[in-house]
Amino acid sequence: EQTRYWEAAALFNLLYRDNPDSTEGKGAFLQRVMLLFELDQADEAIAISKEYIERNTSGLYPRLVCTQLMQHYLALRQYDEALSLVVYMDRWARPANDEELNQETNLRYMVGFTHFQAGNYEKAYAAFDRVFRISPESQAGMDTGYWKAMCLLLQMKYEEAYDAFVTYREAWPRAAFAPAALFRAGVCRFGLEDYTGAQASFQEFVDAYPRDTLMPEALTMLADLQAADGKIDDALGNYRRAIDLVKANYARQTDPLLKKQVVVPATYAVAQAAQALEADAKVYREEKEDLVATEKLREIIVLIEDYLDTFAEDSEFSLGVFWIGRARIQLGEVDLAVSSYLDAII
């Protein structure tokens, strides 16, 4: 099987050498590059690809070959090598047709993502803006509105980012990133310490996108703001909704690494709910309503035990032990608290 692949690579080389300027020859060269990457001959594939895009500065195939290089570098997270390809792109003649334009648009979009993943948000913004200018009606061109807003958010330019998210969502209300844009708009208001505006954005998100993957995060953000306003019951309701959503997502997930990541919003929600319940218990104690205060502390224990049982090894065990022990001490159950701490240590 391996021998046949090498024979195919040799054949593609012959076809290209005999007809380098024909569509068949160019296609054969591209197939050879792809096959070399498939055969783990990356050094040879990179060398001949760079030589090709150095010599050819117009047409579809330099863009296709460059795409192979870009995908290879990004798969290995070799961001500097990926960005070095921009030098070749900048030498290209303008796209002569829609096919060339689409390939260049996708490549420029990948450049933006490369800067973004490397944390170079100013350069990412400029790269995404270039995509929009060369192909505003393409899917990539539309999506750049969201990613430019993300670049501003991650630079903590909250006001500009907020305006950009709102503008994007108004322009493309049914776009794939429209829900995320509303959520991030709430994050921007939070960053601006406009907690009323943030709460309104998160509430709108929760009402509009109940099945979105960002729902657990939106619910916990909303609950945090409600708790800060003293709306403890509303906050606890939303913390519990977030935890229930995570439970459902966790049950569906099979990948061990992803299961660990799925639990993160529930861990945060449980900790925040425990803190809210403790604060509520303190208020009731001060008002001499000891039975209600005791009930709130018991709720902490039940909540945490359910969290530990549900997520098992993917839970934050130390967090659970801390809150169970803390609640038991406030209930006067010091021996049980000490036992919980000892079990954790042993």
For the segment 283-303, what is each residue's pLDDT rounded down to a tens digit? Answer: 999 999 999 999 999 999 999
Q: Are 234 and 222 in contact (CB under 8 A)?
A: no
Q: Residue 18: what pLDDT? A: 80
In single-letter form, the type of residue at position 111 comes to V
Q: Residue 6: what pLDDT? A: 66
Q: Give the Cα separation of 124 and 117 in Å (integer).
A: 9
Q: Residue 74: what pLDDT? A: 96
Name every residue whose Cβ is closer than 8 Å to that of residue 165 and which is 6 or more positions away in sequence.
146, 149, 153, 181, 182, 184, 185, 188
pTM of the model: 0.87
Q: Residue 282: what pLDDT? A: 94
Tens-digit pLDDT profile for residues 21-41: 899 999 999 999 999 999 899
Q: Residue 346: what pLDDT? A: 52
Q: Taking each helix axis from N to C terminus, what angle separates 42-55 and 60-75, rounded to the nearest 10 degrees?
A: 150
Q: Residue 345: what pLDDT? A: 53
Q: Give the Cα separation of 234 and 216 in Å (integer).
A: 15
Inform me whether the pLDDT recorded for 13 exceeds 90.
no
Q: Give the Cα separation of 266 and 57 in Å (integer).
A: 52
Tokens of 263: 């639990």
- Which pLDDT band, with edges at 50, 70 and 90, does 335 fall under? confident
Task: Report in angstroms the alpha-carbon separations of 78 from 14, 69, 89.
Answer: 31, 11, 18
Tokens of 140: 């990539």
Inform me whether the pLDDT recorded for 208 exceeds 70.
yes
Q: Residue 342: what pLDDT? A: 63
Q: Residues 51-67: what's their mean pLDDT? A: 96
Inform me whether the pLDDT recorded for 4 exceeds 80.
no
Name every residue whose Cβ is closer than 8 Å to that of residue 318 and which is 6 or more positions away in sequence.
344
